[in-house]
Amino acid sequence: MSDYQSMDKNALESELKNLKAEYEDYKAQGLKLNMARGVPSTAQLELSLPMLDILKSGSDCLSVSGADCRNYGILDGIDEAKELFAQMLGVKPENVFIGGNSSLNMMFDTIACFSENGIGGEDPWLLQGKIKFLCPAPGYDRHFGVTGFFKNIEMITIPMTENGPDMDMVEKYVEDPTVKGIWCVPKYSNPDGITYSDETVKRFAALKPAAKDFRIMWDNAYCIHDLTDTPDTLLNLYDECLKNGNEDLPIMFCSTSKITFPGSGVAALAASKNNLDVLKSRYKFQTIGYDKLNMLRHIRFFNNYEGVVAHMQKHKAILAPKFELVINKLTEELGDKNIASWHKPNGGYFVSVNVLNGCAKKVVALCKEAGINLTGAGATYPYGIDPNDSNIRIAPSFPPLDELAKALDIFCLCTKIAAAEKLLDK
Amino acid sequence: MSDYQSMDKNALESELKNLKAEYEDYKAQGLKLNMARGVPSTAQLELSLPMLDILKSGSDCLSVSGADCRNYGILDGIDEAKELFAQMLGVKPENVFIGGNSSLNMMFDTIACFSENGIGGEDPWLLQGKIKFLCPAPGYDRHFGVTGFFKNIEMITIPMTENGPDMDMVEKYVEDPTVKGIWCVPKYSNPDGITYSDETVKRFAALKPAAKDFRIMWDNAYCIHDLTDTPDTLLNLYDECLKNGNEDLPIMFCSTSKITFPGSGVAALAASKNNLDVLKSRYKFQTIGYDKLNMLRHIRFFNNYEGVVAHMQKHKAILAPKFELVINKLTEELGDKNIASWHKPNGGYFVSVNVLNGCAKKVVALCKEAGINLTGAGATYPYGIDPNDSNIRIAPSFPPLDELAKALDIFCLCTKIAAAEKLLDK
């Protein structure tokens, strides 16, 4: 049995009958498996266990500058945290602002700041009427959630290519002065696992947007989250922007959520002095300072950037077999069926599968009925609407390998059922 | 030497000459003492030291519901934290939302939410043009900073009385539909240390504002921060609001910043279901959840609300002698001079001193020249402008007793110099 699209009707009817019988067997098992979100597994959490109680005494709580991190103060974070994140983000420490436990929160606050305060000397976005934001898709649903919260922002879908967002379209759109920004996950993109090519990064750095308040939201969530020994490399956007006199273009983000503890990590952003000045002009009223003890826990646990990189090898050892299993299952079950395509990522947290057009919602619904929880179909597009109803995001990090294998078997089965029914026009 | 205002010119000239000689002696000592902000002392930080490493194992990180607090999730906080803060705030757990390390941040986000999203079914504040916020003063400078950040908000000063804000004025102002809210520190107010009377609380609860989107920002920062064995009691605003069908009026805040670690405490807000629904409609896009491990650290350290109350006795033992010293010094040095007045607080973090009109800036400048850092004169008023140039906030918590004694000597001296010069019209 191979290419569904070349099978005659009778053969496909017969195939569908067999698939459905198999599906009923799975349903009878009453499974409950979750591949919905990029959540680290318990085994991954255990890797950072020594960090929990690494601070024990009052003297443990002193920063290099001598500040007692238990007390108030230091709006932009302790120096040693700035140094560490500067290396992760590829900038200088003076360009870094350390936040709380969530880079998403920092992205939200950045959009809120530009909405309330304005950026680049322009009026607050909220007072500019309808504005537009570019959203490479498939993309990260929570990014679209942030811009969707601000009702004056219209989200424009930019197709993803194997080199990153379609830059011809991006360059065309930024000629429109109501276009104010773009969301990017430049390395191991969510969900495709694509790393932007050098050319893509250079074209971003060379953008000349009509809007002086256009900003690139550069969410480098998976900057060191490799899955293979031949990881992708991402060109340094900030350096490229400097070459073009465009250092005010990017606001860059990362966090330790998928390095230490997802709920209790440390997040950071990096930006030019001009941008930092505006962001700080809001932060200084918003808070007295973020959790410096948690910054210190990370510093004591890792010692330095090399410590972080070494730690990521341990995550890789846990995650790589899960991704291999996903790719193997997809290849075995769907590789010759001509009903689905996917990209094998070298890092990140997802495998993005494109099923036959018009089938994604059905596949997700079938999976749900059989006890497999997936990210909702459409979630990877602005407004939750995938125009082709084709993209499904698989998040293999949380389940143990045996559960993951079963979940993938069912996913492939549901993909085949939906495809067969579609081809039979049922 | 007693009442300056009754002294003849020669006597006052002679007094001023002596004061200035004394002042020069102090200046020559090159002191550097800080009474600027309500910062807990190192001795107070040590009280919570066992909390630092109270979580050691993976199983320590499980919430009562079985959630692994190291991982993502639980937007509004773990149940046991809601229960604890419900008791601090005097509400039910379902009315509580647990945040990050800063109640100021939650207040800022609340104003931002109402500005971007609206509340009570009304348009977003930012789209309503000029609106007004009532600011009882002297008050907390960071409150005024938050509303000052939103440029469409005009701040209106409401005088403080010994029973709280002037409620006649508040009741009059809320007839104006452009008046959208009021800042309150209802117990041991910042800086006066005044607790709102039962009648004041009842009048707040019975307000019938013209604006459906009027809200009371009830910052109960010092709810259990007593300094004496005869502490003030504050009527429960939420209960009173319920009696009036007014439960949508208040948004209530507190934190453990001045209970455990100021930089690494836990903050919470309480509000009606209607208000929480609106706040959560923003929070759910802003973050995946706040630091649950830090919530757990607090739960494990205190066990329950009684544990928190017992812990506050230890703070009291450290703080009460400092406040006694301040009041004693003021009484000794200024009590019979008829040039300053103050209120002896039963709790909180400040002593508020009113010097002769037109003298506050001068006193703060003289202190600074002698090495004593005070909150800037005017900071306790909207826009940093004290119309009488009279109010000075003293924060005695951080310096050790001997330094505090010297700082108070100098403060009293500077108050006398400024008063004498003013009375001599110099």
Q: Is B333 a domain residue?
A: yes
Q: Is A56 a domain residue?
A: no
Q: Which residue of A has its CA nearest to B60?
A: A52
Which of chain B's residues have a Cβ under 8 Å away from the Cβ of A105? 286-287
Which of chain A's residues have a Cβ under 8 Å away from the Cβ of B298? none
Q: Could A55 and B60 be called an inter-chain contact, meaning their C-beta atoms sit closer than 8 Å?
A: no
Residue B138's contacts (CB-CB under 8 Å, 6 or more residues apart) are B160, B191, B192, B352, B380, B381, B386, B391, B393
Q: Please check whether residues A147 and A105 belong to one and the same domain.
A: yes
Q: Is B381 a domain residue?
A: yes
Residue B1 is predicted with a pLDDT of 55
Q: Please check whether residues B257 and B394 belong to one and the same domain.
A: no
Q: Is B53 a domain residue?
A: no
Q: Please check whether residues B376 and B394 belong to one and the same domain.
A: yes
Residue B339 is predicted with a pLDDT of 97
Q: Which domain holds residue A272?
A: 62-303
How far apart, in whole angstroms, are the C-alpha atoms of residue B32 and residue B369?
10
CB atoms within 10 A of CB B367: 24
Which of chain B's residues have a Cβ under 8 Å away from the Cβ of A116? 112, 115-116, 126, 149-150
Q: Please check whether residues A293 and A318 belong to one and the same domain.
A: no
Q: Is B211 a domain residue?
A: yes
Q: Please check whether residues A168 and A275 belong to one and the same domain.
A: yes
Contact of B194 with B343, CB cutoff 8 Å: yes
The 3-class SS string of B3-17 reads CHHHCCHHHHHHHHH
Q: Please check whether residues B241 and B159 belong to one and the same domain.
A: yes
**Nearest neighbour of A290 by CB, restricted to B101, B112, B149:** B101
Q: Could A100 and B292 be called an inter-chain contact, meaning their C-beta atoms sit closer than 8 Å?
A: no
Q: Could A52 and B102 be called an inter-chain contact, meaning their C-beta atoms sit closer than 8 Å?
A: no
Q: Please check whether residues A127 and A260 belong to one and the same domain.
A: yes
pLDDT confidence bin for A186, thresholds 50/70/90: very high
How far apart, in whole angstroms, are the C-alpha atoms of residue B53 and residue A177?
52
Q: What is the pLDDT of residues A14-32, one digit of tens each?
A: 999 999 999 999 999 999 9
Q: Is B157 a domain residue?
A: yes
pLDDT tens for chain B, 426 residues: list them. 589 999 999 999 999 999 999 999 999 999 999 998 899 999 999 999 999 999 999 999 999 999 999 999 999 999 999 999 999 999 999 999 999 999 999 999 999 999 999 999 999 999 999 999 999 999 999 999 999 999 999 999 999 999 999 999 999 999 999 999 999 999 999 999 999 999 999 999 999 999 999 999 999 999 999 999 999 999 999 999 999 999 999 999 999 999 999 999 999 999 999 999 999 999 999 999 999 999 999 999 999 999 999 999 999 999 999 999 999 999 999 999 999 999 999 999 999 999 999 999 999 999 999 999 999 999 999 999 999 999 999 999 999 999 999 999 999 999 999 999 999 987
Task: Determine the distance in angstroms separating the CA of A73 from the nearest CA of chain B, rounded to an integer.
Answer: 7
Q: Is the pTM of this model over 0.90?
A: yes
Q: What is the pairing mode between strands B267-270 and B250-255? A: antiparallel
3-state helix, strand, coil in chain B (%, to 5): 45, 15, 40
Q: Please check whether residues A164 and A266 belong to one and the same domain.
A: yes
Structural domains counted in chain B: 2
Residue A116 is predicted with a pLDDT of 95
Q: What is the pLDDT of residues A197-255, one digit of tens each?
A: 999 999 999 999 999 999 999 999 999 999 999 999 999 999 999 999 999 999 999 99
- Looking at B252, B277, B303, the residue that finishes a domain is B303
Which of chain A's residues have a Cβ under 8 Å away from the Cβ of B53? 52-56
Which of chain A's residues have a Cβ under 8 Å away from the Cβ of B282? 149
- Looking at B240, B272, B303, the residue that finishes a domain is B303
Helix (H) or strand (E) holding B158: strand B153-161
Tokens, residue A316 = 């890789």
Specify the CATH number for the domain of residue B243. Answer: 3.40.640.10
Tokens, residue A210 = 């009509």
A372 Ramachandran zone, left/alpha/beta (phi>0; psi -120 to 50): beta
Tokens, residue A401 = 């390998």
Could you write out the DSSP letters of every residue in A197-218? PHHHHHHHHT---S-TT-EEEE
Q: Could B285 and A68 be called an inter-chain contact, meaning their C-beta atoms sit closer than 8 Å?
A: no
- For an interface test with B, which of A288, A301, A383 has the most B Cβ atoms less than 10 Å from its Cβ? A288
Kindly report the backbone phi and psi dihedral angles of residue A217, in degrees, each rounded to the nearest multiple of 5, phi listed first: -90, 100
How far apart, in whole angstroms, are the C-alpha atoms of residue A232 and residue A157?
25
pLDDT (average), residues A70-98: 98
How far apart, in whole angstroms, are the C-alpha atoms of residue A411 and residue B279?
37
Q: Is A209 a domain residue?
A: yes
- For an interface test with A, which of B59, B183, B291, B349 has the most A Cβ atoms less than 10 Å from its Cβ? B291
Could you write out the DSSP letters of every residue in A67-102? -BTTSS--TT--HHHHHHHHHHHTS-GGGEEE-SS-
Q: Could B105 and A291 be called an inter-chain contact, meaning their C-beta atoms sit closer than 8 Å?
A: no
Q: Please check whether residues A19 and A69 belong to one and the same domain.
A: no
Q: Please check whether residues B179 and B324 belong to one and the same domain.
A: no
Q: Please check whether residues A294 and A318 belong to one and the same domain.
A: no
Residue A426 is predicted with a pLDDT of 75
Residue A1 is predicted with a pLDDT of 55
- Looking at B287, B303, B319, the residue that finishes a domain is B303
Q: Please check whether residues B295 and B313 belong to one and the same domain.
A: no
Specify the CATH number for the domain of residue A31. Answer: 3.90.1150.10
Helix (H, G, I), strand (E, B) or coil at B218: strand
Q: How far is CA A86 from CA A208, A242, A251, A255, A267, in A?
A: 26, 16, 13, 12, 12
Q: At what angle do helices A141-149 and A103-117 cross, to 10 degrees?
A: 30
**Nearest neighbour of A286 by CB, restricted to B56, B105, B291:** B105
**Nearest neighbour of A149 by CB, restricted to B49, B285, B291:** B285
Omega within 30 of 0 (cis) for the link into B138: yes
Q: Is B126 a domain residue?
A: yes
Which residue in B370, B367, B350, B379 sits closest to B411, CA to CA? B367
Q: Which residue of B has its CA nearest to A264?
A: B291
Please name every residue paired with B217 in a beta bridge, in sequence order, or none if there are none.
Answer: B183, B251
**Nearest neighbour of A58 by CB, restricted to B46, B58, B285:** B46
Q: Could B150 and A116 be called an inter-chain contact, meaning their C-beta atoms sit closer than 8 Å?
A: yes
Q: Could A69 and B127 be called an inter-chain contact, meaning their C-beta atoms sit closer than 8 Å?
A: no
Which residue in B352, B408, B416, B425 sits closest to B160, CA to CA? B352
- For an interface test with B, which of A291, A300, A373, A383 has the most B Cβ atoms less than 10 Å from its Cβ? A291
Q: What is the ipTM of this complex?
A: 0.97
- For an interface test with A, which of B71, B140, B144, B301 has the most A Cβ atoms less than 10 Å from its Cβ? B71
pLDDT (average), residues A104-109: 98
